[in-house]
């Protein structure tokens, strides 16, 4: 069992000493390409209960659009709006679905208290997730690379056979550790299961340094609007929500950029950015993405959970009109 940790001391000595002694073998992580951070489907009832029946259809929808990986319980999946038991149920439903679709399953386990983070890490490993993604501690925030390493070591110990990635999203976490410097500072055996980061920021200078820090680590960009620029830097992996609503457009932008056809990538990226900007004017990111998915696909993710609110019928109608004007077919 893990011992209780006083994070203000920056280290849980018993666990970290064990991690050092155990010399856990490095895990293999070969996935590169596109991962969709999936929305969590809720019923339109008073408490927004889980609607797990949608998940097999959702997985099939993405697989048919050449999306070979999914991220579950992330920001787009409203992971921090669910209880630990609900997050496990969603993860289990996706683990069952991807047995058929053969998609890479990444599960986001952070955004809650440390004991629950460790429990979610163990659970993800028990259902044979392909990888786990973890936010930093959100209250006693790490301010140095060493503090972040200490936290990730504890997560690694809880799932010693599963590739671990760090979720860098400073606009939400207010954790501003430089990812290039962080990756450069990691020794081979410090966190044996650590394989890379999800980089959700518009700072491409920092992203480029992270990309070149160590070829052992993968860097997934989490920005829908910078694929063309990121491909020009040499990035080849992305975790972006637009894959659920606009899979063809997103895949086309990625394919062109990855092939070095920067003119086509720029043109396709501009169309994607234009439509994301258009729907984004009607509300917050998840509120508008859920509405757009219902309009554009046969997947109904339901409403967002509180404190977010579903868009009004009037807003949805205006969004539908805008999407039609941009040349998209919509469900009404």
End-to-end CA distance of the chain: 53
The one catalytic residue in 65, 149, 198, 290 is: 198
The one catalytic residue in 167, 264, 281, 282 is: 167
Answer yes or no: 198 catalytic. Answer: yes
Comparing C-alpha atoms, which of 272, 215, 220, 278 is closest to residue 249? 272
**CA atoms within a 13 Å half-sphere pointing along the CA-CB vector of 120:** 33
Phi-psi region at 283: left, alpha or beta (left = phi > 0; alpha = psi -120 to 50): left
Q: Is 170 within 8 Å of 178 (Cβ atoms)?
A: no
- Please return the burial class of 21, using the count of CB atoms within 10 Å of its CB with bins 0-12, 13-18 and 19+: exposed
Phi-psi region at 240: left, alpha or beta (left = phi > 0; alpha = psi -120 to 50): beta
If DSSP codes are grouped into helix, strand and coil, which group holds residue 63?
A: helix
Answer yes or no: 167 catalytic. Answer: yes
Query: 196 vs 79, 211, 217, 331, CA distance in Å?
Result: 21, 10, 4, 39
Q: State which H helix or E strand residue 194 sits in.
A: strand 194-199
Annotated catalytic residues are 167, 198
């Amino acid at each position: 069992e893990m011992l209780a940790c006083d994070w203000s001391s920056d280290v849980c000595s018993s666990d970290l000493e064990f991690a050092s002694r155990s010399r856990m073998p490095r895990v293999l992580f070969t996935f590169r390409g596109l991962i969709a951070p999936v929305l969590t489907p809720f019923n339109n009832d008073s408490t927004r209960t889980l609607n797990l029946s949608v998940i097999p259809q959702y997985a099939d929808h993405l697989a048919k659009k050449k999306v070979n990986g999914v991220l579950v319980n992330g920001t787009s999946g409203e992971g921090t709006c669910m209880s630990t038991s609900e997050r496990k149920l969603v993860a289990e439903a996706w683990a069952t679905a991807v047995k058929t679709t053969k998609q890479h399953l990444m599960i986001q386990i952070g955004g809650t208290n440390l004991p629950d983070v460790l429990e979610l890490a163990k659970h993800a490993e028990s259902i044979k997730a392909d990888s786990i993604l973890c936010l930093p501690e959100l209250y006693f925030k790490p301010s140095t690379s060493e503090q972040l390493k200490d936290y990730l070591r504890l997560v690694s110990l809880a799932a010693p056979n599963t590739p671990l990635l760090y979720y860098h999203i400073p606009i939400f976490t207010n954790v501003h550790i430089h990812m290039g410097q962080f990756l450069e500072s990691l020794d081979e055996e410090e966190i044996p299961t650590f394989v890379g980061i999800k980089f959700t920021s518009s700072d491409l200078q920092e992203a480029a340094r992270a990309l070149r820090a160590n070829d052992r680590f993968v860097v997934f960009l989490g920005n829908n609007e910078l694929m063309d620029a990121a491909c020009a830097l040499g990035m080849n992996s992305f975790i972006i929500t637009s894959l659920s609503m606009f899979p063809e457009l997103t895949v086309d932008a990625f394919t062109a950029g990855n092939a070095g056809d920067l003119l086509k990538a720029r043109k396709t990226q501009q169309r994607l950015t234009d439509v994301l900007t258009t729907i984004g004017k009607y509300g917050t990111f998840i509120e508008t993405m859920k509405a757009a998915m219902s309009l554009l696909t046969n997947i109904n993710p339901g409403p967002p959970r509180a404190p977010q609110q579903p868009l009004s019928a009037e807003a949805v109608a205006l969004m539908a009109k805008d999407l039609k004007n941009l040349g998209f077919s919509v469900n009404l």
